Amino acid sequence: MAKNRHEELGLSNEEVLEMYKTMLLARKLDERMWLLNRAGKIPFVISCQGQEAAQVGAAFALNRSEDYIAPYYRDMGVVLAFGMTAKELMLSAFAKAEDPNSGGRQMPSHFGQKKNRILTGSSPVTTQVPHAVGVALAAKMEKKDFVSFVTLGEGSSNQGDFHEGLNFAGVHKLPVITMVENNKYAISVPIEKQLGNPKVSDRALGYGMPGFTVDGNDPLEVYKVVKEARDRAVSGEGPTLIEAVSYRLTAHSSDDDDRAYRNKEEVEEARKLDSIFTFAVYLKDLGILTDEIENEFTNEITSIVNEATDYAEAAPYAEPEEALKYVYEE
Amino acid sequence: MAKNRHEELGLSNEEVLEMYKTMLLARKLDERMWLLNRAGKIPFVISCQGQEAAQVGAAFALNRSEDYIAPYYRDMGVVLAFGMTAKELMLSAFAKAEDPNSGGRQMPSHFGQKKNRILTGSSPVTTQVPHAVGVALAAKMEKKDFVSFVTLGEGSSNQGDFHEGLNFAGVHKLPVITMVENNKYAISVPIEKQLGNPKVSDRALGYGMPGFTVDGNDPLEVYKVVKEARDRAVSGEGPTLIEAVSYRLTAHSSDDDDRAYRNKEEVEEARKLDSIFTFAVYLKDLGILTDEIENEFTNEITSIVNEATDYAEAAPYAEPEEALKYVYEE
Amino acid sequence: MPVMSYIQAVTTALREEMQRDEKVFILGEDVGKKGGVFKATEGLYDEFGEYRVLDTPLAESAIAGVGIGAAMYGMRPVAEMQFADFIMPAVNQIISEAARIRYRSNNDWDCPIVIRAPYGGGVHGALYHSQSVEAIFANQPGLKIVMPSTPYDAKGLLKAAIRDNDPVLFFEHKRAYRLLKGEVPTEDYVLPIGKADVKREGSDITIITYGLCVHFALQAAEKLAEDGIEAHILDLRTVYPLDKEAIIEAAKKTGKVLLVTEDNKEGSILSEVAAIISENCLFDLDAPIQRLAGPDIPAMPYAPTMEKFFMMNPDKIEKAMRELAEF
Amino acid sequence: MPVMSYIQAVTTALREEMQRDEKVFILGEDVGKKGGVFKATEGLYDEFGEYRVLDTPLAESAIAGVGIGAAMYGMRPVAEMQFADFIMPAVNQIISEAARIRYRSNNDWDCPIVIRAPYGGGVHGALYHSQSVEAIFANQPGLKIVMPSTPYDAKGLLKAAIRDNDPVLFFEHKRAYRLLKGEVPTEDYVLPIGKADVKREGSDITIITYGLCVHFALQAAEKLAEDGIEAHILDLRTVYPLDKEAIIEAAKKTGKVLLVTEDNKEGSILSEVAAIISENCLFDLDAPIQRLAGPDIPAMPYAPTMEKFFMMNPDKIEKAMRELAEF
Ligand SMILES: Cc1ncc(C[n+]2csc(CCOP(=O)(O)OP(=O)(O)O)c2C)c(N)n1
Ligand SMILES: Cc1ncc(C[n+]2csc(CCOP(=O)(O)OP(=O)(O)O)c2C)c(N)n1
Ligand SMILES: [Mg+2]
Ligand SMILES: [Mg+2]
């Protein structure tokens, strides 16, 4: 039997089940989006698959009713944990007017929802890093107790904005947690061609903050390190850089064919560590995830995904002239 | 008596004297430029004072007839060592047509001279870092044995271009040496408000290259670390990041008044370590710099500076319409 | 009404807005203890403390980007770019982010940031301390670009910019800082962003310009007035988006239009002004639309001969005005 | 002559130039093994090896900056920005560096770099994969901006750009990549940068445009021809610096001018074209200069309704042409 590792982290059985369920919901929504894409119903998908454990583990370690997040495009697990619904995500996938992220203006996975403190994101990578630092600066100026949390891919950690943002946070000891989701590829470019030092967390030293590399397939390990980072942040000890290592299980996006640059075996090997599978094994081993609960989850999630899809598919697009709105305050 | 430290570095007495003389020439030229500025004869000066040891120590460790350099505005010591003359520097200070750097188009200290492989530089800081990496990439592609050498201030090491450039060099193990001249201030901002971790060389780790912090007031220590970096570079071991720590002895530039942000005592303290003084003591202690030689140097340099000044002052400005030239190839 | 310099008007606007609203804060290079390289923030560090007059690391993309994040949260950042020339590393944050935040979130988020920067030449600043950079941004819906020409306008427009709920680029001519003085009310007032302003009434020729060139054009107009030629001078004040109605009205008024900028000619703000006129009042024109601008070279050289060759001045404007008047 | 697609013409030009000159190399994101996200560099990695078709880290300022350094040394870099929208982080390197290297060094150094980027919409690319970014750069002396409209032009102009001794931005419409096909000679040829090209002769109205819009305008012109209205179509090809003579000639030819771009209207390339015409041929015009452009909103939305609302197409052009013809 597996050793119970969540108890010592202060996580109840209900909480870890909730984590698992969130991971599973993210995965199932993502899978459905691929089906919809292949069926010609939605033009584009970019996946969370393989990164759900890191996303959900991190989100659960935050204060989900106070902290601000600046997620990147793969973070379906993060935004679900922060209150965005399956329906809302599907509305975005279908580019419908009711999509709270952008009213159908942006591609799917360009998250943003003020009521859940999800900063609006764009396509150029890494611009969100200074934004999260700015929110953390506001927290410090206003003497508030929240933190900001920002994610990006390991390739994106080579952008100037990563450097400028993290150094700024380091100088002013701001309450911001940066998590690099290292999935070993930036589209076709593998880490060894992307990073002078493949261990992203080693960059923390240069900014005067602690850096940690953790197993991104283990939601509990990620939970722990983010939790500790949050504790440090709210007690004025400043920022943390975390690298969660996993693997991108799908092609980069629905527009990519990964056979040109990586082989099947490598992907198959990574699948064995897929957290949706390994975390379930852990929970089952401990008798927490019973067959009954598993069935219940599956059924519930299936109907959530179905309903979300049906609703979003039937929802109207924005009128053409809606495009003219909100360039400036109106 | 001081211990002879240059012999073990393979430096002859003549060479260290030559280093000293170059440092002294830089200092004297710089001092003259301040006088000319205060006399209203030249609009602007930005100084090398306090950084001559690092500059000259580094330059002498390079192959001065093959390597490419991308100096920053304080690097009078570097460009003198690479073949730019006092007259040429004065022509630039006076913005005269004959100035080889820019024909009087740029402010002084915006170095550039193709025949000496000094890349043309601009005012926005840190842009030269990727340029030097590009030259090093060319060296690798063309299987040539030269290296490129680039400098910048510690404040400038917070620009995105530093990060992007060094990581690029790290990935491809390019023969480029980056030397940060840490003079403790970026205009008015002291290092603790500038750098999350005040030790710039700690950033090297993140790019997969060795990083060293050395005493920038000691030309021999700088010589040694640059020499070793060059050896590694030409043998295919890739880039190095070096931080040479000294102090900015003048105000930021002739437009700055540093009394608003630092106190006299701090500056006086730093003057005690001024390399022009301490290196002379070393050379005298060893009996290498005799009174005779010192007088000879002083006289020679004085007349070089005088001649350069007179020549440059008398030289013509470019005709107004010259401004229209060389926007594109002609 | 007290007389103050252009830069004093800027400082006054900043101080008053910071006193009025605790959310307003300044960030930039050397803005704190030193009070800015031009002294635009002098005294504010002492009055408001480090975290409201924040010396940032030397990193413009972070200055903009951190400001944007704080603005999304609800603060009112006023970021300073030390020179307009050094705004370039922040272009991605300004164009991809600030300008698009409201639009891309379908009005869920907004980004009330002001980015101030000293621009312009004639100060021995050479290629990289003399540039006009407005044209780079003057094609990005979501942004507003304000370029005041007088101390009075500077105060009223900077206050308006700080209170505006959208991102505003605020370019101040660095030679105007101490050259221009004028009466500035001590009371609180704001001027409307997006509105041009007639700086001189006249019936013979129309000059449309902005920034320091307004001052030069007014000087030239006085010379012409001695010969009975009356110039109508429209100060654009906001160069993006442009005040079309005011431009059309001013062009129609005299039928002879001279556009003036210190920037290079091709692709400048003047191009759009000319396009608006030629689209809307072609048949009201008695002469081709004239543009007087810097030459199409990268920027102003350092040597005084070449700098003068590039830089706009009253004489050049006067000459162009006379030619147009005689057309 | 073989028929090839626009993107095949691009790939062919790259291959031929790399075969011709060992100094030519490609750098960018995913250009190597993957052959580029649009496959513009497909096959080149296998033919020329890693160091001539270099996958870079995800860092546009470095892509441009490292390319610039290599170009100063004497190489012939062809940098790819994965999407034109992602050129923004490289603006400082492009404007402050590439564009000014020859000028600032008084002709001592030069910077023969080409920066290619796919631009434009109509591909469900939404706000950040659909933009036209040329206006941001079309005010920077030292730069050249080329935007070919046909496979033939793409090959000839890309070769010219690579051989040019100054920096060239080369924007390829991503929807043109597979949509447009045409005859392309197998021989080596170059087309002149800086020259516009008459794509259709006509005597009733003049259309001046560039990029994919040329194709749309030609389609619209065929419709009009059915009704006896003959459109003269000038393809700018180089949008900066503009070919003034060709613009003036085309405008004078019919006296009725319609300018078309897919970009937003205010501050676009069209503004300068209108300014040139109104400065030089005011009295030759029989109608106000018309501009047909995207609305002034940040960029094209994702939802098909709103994307279509923004995107240029033959119908919109036809309508504007008919209105102008009837003026
Ligand atoms: C500034 C910028 N350049 C290029 C792109 C195109 N692009 C989108 S995702 C991506 C790779 C990102 O890799 P990584 O950061 O590792 O994140 P991952 O997709 O692997 O999660 C690239 C190059 C972009 N979105 N933004
Ligand atoms: C991109 C950019 N931003 C701002 C400036 C204005 N500026 C010139 S030098 C300087 C400080 C540089 O400090 P540091 O890098 O430490 O070099 P130092 O002058 O101390 O040698 C600043 C802010 C600039 N030249 N470029
Ligand atoms: Mg990745
Ligand atoms: Mg310094």
Q: pLDDT tens, D151-190?
A: 999 999 999 999 999 999 999 999 999 999 999 999 999 9
Q: For residue B268, how many other CB atoms are within 10 A of its CB?
A: 9
Residue B185, strand partner residues:
B190
Contact B164 D65 (CB under 8 A): yes
Q: What are phi and psi of C143, to 5 degrees?
A: -95, 155
What's the mean pLDDT in B52-69? 98
Distance CA(A198)–CA(B79), nearest Å, equals 36
Quote the radius of gyration of chain D (alpha carbons, Å): 19
Give A-chain residues touching C69 at CB under 8 angstroms.
70, 119, 130-138, 148
Distance C121 CA to ligand 3 centre (A): 45
Nearest residue CA, atom 13 of ligand 2? B186
D interface with A, Cβ–Cβ < 8 A, is 29-30, 32-35, 37, 55, 57-62, 85-86, 88-89, 124-129, 295-298, 301-306, 308-310
Contact by Cβ (8 Å): A291, A73: no
| Domain spans in chain C, listed from the N-terminal domain onward | 3-183, 197-326
**The one-letter amino acid at B129:** V
HEC sequence for chain D:
CCEEEHHHHHHHHHHHHHHHCCCEEEEECCCCCCCCCCCCCCCHHHHHCHHHEEECCCCHHHHHHHHHHHHHHCCEEEEECCCHHHHHHHHHHHHHHHHHHHHHCCCCCCCCCEEEEEECCCCCCCCCCCCCCHHHHCCCECEEEECCCCHHHHHHHHHHHHHCCCCEEEEEECCHHHHCEEECCCCCCCCCCCCCEEEECCCCEEEEECCHHHHHHHHHHHHHHHCCCCEEEEECCEEECCCHHHHHHHHHHHCCEEEEEEEECCCCHHHHHHHHHHHHCHHHCCCCCEEEEECCCCCCCCCHHHHHHHCCCHHHHHHHHHHHHHC
The fold for domain C197-326 equals: Rossmann fold (3.40.50)
Whether residue C29 has its Cβ less than 6 Å from ligand 2: yes
Angle of helix A52-61 versus helix A13-38 axis, rounded to 10: 140
The reported pLDDT for the residue numbered D121 is 98
Give C-chain residues touching A92 at CB under 8 angstroms.
none
pLDDT one-digit tens code per residue, B163-201: 999 999 999 999 999 999 999 999 999 999 999 999 999
Q: What are phi and psi of A81, to 5 degrees?
A: -65, -25
Partner C contacted by B122 (CB < 8 A): yes
Whether residue B153 has its Cβ less than 6 Å from ligand 2: yes
Handedness of CA D277, C291, C196, C188 (dihedral sign): positive
Considering only CA atoms, which of A326, A95, A104, C101 is closest in space to residue D297? A326
Residue D200, strand partner residues:
D233
Task: Tell me the pLDDT band of B1, cut-offs 50, 70 and 90.
Answer: confident
**Sheet with A240-245: strands ordered across:** A68-70, A148-153, A176-182, A240-245, A211-215
Considering only CA atoms, which of A321, A121, A73 is closest in space to residue C101? A121
Strand bridging mode C3-5 / C181-183: antiparallel
Strand bridging mode C197-200 / B176-182: unpaired
Is the backbone peptide bond immediately before C241 cis, with ω within 30 degrees of 0?
A: yes
The reported pLDDT for the residue numbered D78 is 99
Per the prediction, chain B carries an average pLDDT of 98
How big is the C-D interface in CB pairs under 8 Å?
Answer: 154
Contact A137 C100 (CB under 8 A): no
Contact by Cβ (8 Å): B50, B270: yes
Contact by Cβ (8 Å): D148, D283: no
pLDDT at A284 > cutoff 80? yes
Torsion angle, CA of B43/B49/B54/B57, rounded to 10 degrees? 90
Which stretches of B39-117 are DSSP H helices?
52-61, 76-81, 86-93
Which helix (H) or strand (E) element contains residue C27? strand C24-28
Give C-chain residues touching B95 at CB under 8 angstroms.
302-304
Torsion angle, CA of C30/C34/C36/C42, rounded to 10 degrees? 140
Tokens matching residue A180? 């690099």
| Domain spans in chain B, listed from the N-terminal domain onward | 5-324
Q: For residue B278, how many other CB atoms are within 10 A of its CB?
A: 16
CA closest to A326 among chain D residues: D297
Tokens matching residue B125? 């800081």
What's the mean pLDDT in C56-67? 98
Whether residue C86 has its Cβ less than 6 Å from ligand 2: yes
CATH class belonging to D3-183: alpha beta
| Nearest by CB: D289 against C96, C278, C290 | C278
Angle of helix B13-38 versus helix B291-314 axis, rounded to 10: 40
Residue A241, strand partner residues:
A178, A211
pLDDT one-digit tens code per residue, B259-300: 999 999 999 999 999 999 999 999 999 999 999 999 999 999
Give C-chain residues touching D100 at CB under 8 angstroms.
127, 298-299
pLDDT one-digit tens code per residue, B214-264: 999 999 999 999 999 999 999 999 999 999 999 999 999 999 999 999 999
ipTM above 0.85, yes or no: yes
Considering only CA atoms, which of D75, D236, B295, C97 is closest in space to residue A112? C97
pLDDT one-digit tens code per residue, C117-160: 999 999 999 999 999 999 999 999 999 999 999 999 999 999 99
Give D-chain residues touching B140 at CB under 8 angstroms.
51
- Asked whether the domain spanning D197-326 has the same topology as the one spanning D3-183, the reply is yes
**The one-letter amino acid at A272:** K
CA closest to D137 among chain C residues: C136
The reported pLDDT for the residue numbered D1 is 86
% of chain D surpassing 90 pLDDT = 99
Whether residue D307 has its Cβ less than 6 Å from ligand 1: no
CATH class belonging to B5-324: alpha beta
Contact by Cβ (8 Å): D317, D307: no
Contact B135 D65 (CB under 8 A): no
Mutate to test the pocket of ligand 2, among B47, B156, B193 (most ligand atoms within 8 A of CB): B156
**Sheet with B240-245: strands ordered across:** B68-70, B148-153, B176-182, B240-245, B211-215
A252 is catalytic: yes
Contact D57 A255 (CB under 8 A): no
Distance A184 CA to ligand 3 centre (A): 5
Place of tokens 């611009």: A127
**The one-letter amino acid at B295:** N
Considering only CA atoms, which of B92, B91, B67, B95 is closest in space to residue B81? B67
Length in residues, chain B: 330
Give B-chain residues touching C265 at CB under 8 angstroms.
none
Tokens matching residue C223? 């010379």
Distance CA(D11)–CA(D188), nearest Å, equals 14
Q: What is the DSSP letter of C174?
A: T
- B87 contact partners, CB below 8 Å, separation of at least 6: B307, B308, B311, B312
HEC sequence for C310-324:
HCCCHHHHHHHHHHH
Partner C contacted by D91 (CB < 8 A): yes
Strand bridging mode D3-5 / D181-183: antiparallel
Q: For residue B174, how many other CB atoms are within 10 A of its CB?
A: 28
- D34 contact partners, CB below 8 Å, separation of at least 6: A187, A188, A260, A261
Per the prediction, chain A carries an average pLDDT of 98
The reported pLDDT for the residue numbered A9 is 98
- Nearest ligand to the C-alpha atom of residue B164: 1
Q: Tell me how close the Cα of B217 comes to any Cα of chain C, in angstroms.
A: 24
pLDDT at A1 > cutoff 80? no
Distance B123 CA to ligand 2 centre (A): 8
Residue C231, strand partner residues:
C205
pLDDT at C236 > cutoff 90? yes
Q: For residue B83, how many other CB atoms are within 10 A of its CB?
A: 14
Mutate to test the pocket of ligand 1, among A47, A156, A178, A184 (most ligand atoms within 8 A of CB): A156
Contact D55 A188 (CB under 8 A): yes
pLDDT one-digit tens code per residue, D267-309: 999 999 999 999 999 899 999 999 999 999 999 999 999 999 9
Q: What are phi and psi of B11, to 5 degrees?
A: -100, 130
What's the mean pLDDT in D98-116? 98
Whether residue B107 has its Cβ less than 6 Å from ligand 2: no
Whether residue B101 has its Cβ less than 6 Å from ligand 2: no
The reported pLDDT for the residue numbered C37 is 98
The reported pLDDT for the residue numbered C1 is 86
How far is the CA of B111 from the CAs of B78, B91, B100, D17, D110, in angstroms? Answer: 10, 12, 9, 33, 15
Mutation for A interface: C29, C106, C143, most A CBs within 10 A: C106
pLDDT at A50 > cutoff 80? yes
Distance CA(B227)–CA(B232), nearest Å, equals 9
Mutate to test the pocket of ligand 2, among C86, C93, C127 (most ligand atoms within 8 A of CB): C86
Contact B164 D61 (CB under 8 A): yes
Distance CA(C218)–CA(C232), nearest Å, equals 9
Contact D95 C136 (CB under 8 A): yes
Distance CA(C232)–CA(C253), nearest Å, equals 8
Distance B220 CA to ligand 4 centre (A): 21
The reported pLDDT for the residue numbered A2 is 86
